[in-house]
Amino acid sequence: MEVLLERGYGEARVRVRYAETDQMGVVYHANYLVWFEVGRVEFIRQTGMDYKSMEIEEGAMIAVVEATARYIAPARYDDELLVRTTLAGVRGPIIRFKYAILRAEDATLLCEGETVHIVVGRHMKRREMPVKYAERFAELMHRAKSAAEIRSKV
């Protein structure tokens, strides 16, 4: 978790598979949403928690209720990508994540986006976030805010 806090984001690596490209050799736009999920799950893992346990032990899931993506430059077959994920906000059972997808080779920003989630139970009804997740996310938000304030004074 300390590495995540130092950087200010979680990071996952993915490599573009041939099946993820269209006839022009460019990544099909919907694949970026899949990579947002890869980044989000890895972000949660890098906080010292894991999404699978949240589902199994707590009976809680985070359902996507909104997703946005802004495409800037194309990714192509065999590109290695960095998916950088930040926790953008938490309010009760609502969680927002932001993403930046970059080409690893040259750090070119390819896509940026955001997802909004709501915590739900097994029957897809809204519920409170499990306590340990709420506490960890609150800690992350507080520490990220403190780090931003320190950086702005430098």
> Would you please indicate which residues are annotated as catalytic (active-site) residues?
22
Strands (E), 24-141: 61-71, 80-91, 94-103, 109-120
Helix/strand/coil for 141:
helix
CA 72, 25, 103, 29 dihedral sign is positive
Listing DSSP states for 29-53 in one string gives TTHHHHHHHHHHHHHHHHTT--HHH
Q: Residue 50: phi, psi to the nearest 5? A: -150, 145
